[in-house]
Amino acid sequence: MRVFAALAVLMASPIAVPAQAQKQAEVQPKFSTPAKAAQVLEANVADRAPPPPITDKENLWLLDLSTGGRVTIWLRPDVAPKMVERIKTLTRRHFYDGLTFHRVIDGFMAQGGDPKGDGTGGSDLPNVPAEFNYLPHVRGSVAAARADDPNSANSQFYIVFQPRFALDKKYTVFGRVIDGMQYVDAIERGEPPANPSKIVHAYVAADNPPAYVPLAPAPAPSLGAPVTLPGAAAKPAPARRPAPKAAPAKKAATATK
C-alpha cells in the first residue's frame, strides 16, 4: 500500500514527540525574504551540490489550489534529483490536476497526490528510491510520502504545516513552499476531510502556465417546480383587469411669439 503507513508507525514520534523535540517544533524560523526562507541551510559545504537559483523556472512547481490561490514550491534536484524528475514528469502529464488532499492533520501536514484519494494509489511509473538528505522538516517543506519500504515513494507528497524534525532523514524532502503558504494553511483538515481541498492545476513554471483563475462558485441547487400538498386545493389564478384607457395627448407647448 502506498499509504503514508510509515508515519503511522512513527505516530508516537510526530504526534507525541519528546518534550525537547516538541520545544524545538514550537520555535519557527523567521525570514525576511522568500529566498532566505527557502535556503534553510548554507550551500557552501564541501562536496555538496549547489541548489538551483530560486528564479530557475524549471525548478519552480506551481500548485493552483481550490483554497483560493497559487502555491510556488522551489524544487531541489541537488538533493533529490529522482523525486524532482518524477514530480515534473507527472505534472507535465497533468497527473495532479483535480487530485485531493486526502489526509490533512492540523499542526502537522497535508498529504496529496493519490489518484485513488485514500492513500493507497500512485502513478503507473516505478517507485522512486529513497533520497534522504540534509533538508529538515520545517514549515513549508515538501516531501515524498511512502509506505514502510523506504524505496516506495511514487506520486504522493506532503507539505509540512509545523516543524517535525523527528522525520528528518526518514523521508525524502525535495522542495519548499516559497510563496502562497496561506493557501496551504487553508486546506481542509481530516483523515479524510469531509470536503477535501483539491489541486485544480499543477504546472512547472518553465512551461509558461496561465495566470491563476479562481474556481467558479458552485451553482445553487434547483428546488424544482412548485409542489402542491395532498388535499390542498389549488388557488385559481387572479382575473386580469382590463388596461385603463390612455389619456388624450396634450399639445406640446410652443414659444410665445
User: Could you give the CA distance from residue 190 to residue 153 in angstroms, rounded to a whole number?
Assistant: 22
Place of cell 513552499: 177
Tell me the pTM. 0.71
Hey, where are the domains in the chain? 57-206
Model confidence at 237, pLDDT cuts 50, 70, 90, reads low
pLDDT, residue 238, reads 66
Q: Which residue has the higher pLDDT, 115 or 222?
A: 115
Class of the CATH domain delimited by 57-206: mainly beta
One-letter identity of residue 68 = G
Average pLDDT over residues 13-28: 34
Model confidence at 60, pLDDT cuts 50, 70, 90, reads very high
pLDDT, residue 210, reads 96
% of the chain residues with pLDDT over 70: 68
Do residues 152 and 111 lie in contact, with contact meaning Cβ atoms separated by under 8 Å? no
Length of the chain: 257
